[in-house]
Amino acid sequence: MTELHSVLMRRDDMTAEEAADTIAELRRRVLAGENPEELLHCELGLEPDYVFDLL
């Protein structure tokens, strides 16, 4: 489990499965060419500290 998983579960009260699904979707979007820092900020309201959890 990454730090991003932990943050989503703690902050957003997600289950482990929900956090994993959210991260998988964001990873898919990064692979499609979207900027991971922008995704973290716009979609999750997080700083780019967690960018490596998406790569």
Question: Which pLDDT score, from 0 to 100, does residue 34 have?
Answer: 97
The model's pTM is: 0.92
- pLDDT tens digits for 11-42? 999 999 999 999 999 999 999 999 999 999 99
Here the tokens at position 34 are: 């979207």
How many structural domains compose the chain? 1
pLDDT, position 8: 98
- Domain extent, residue 23, equals 3-53
pLDDT, position 14: 97
Q: What angle do CA 11, 17, 15 make, to 5 degrees?
A: 35
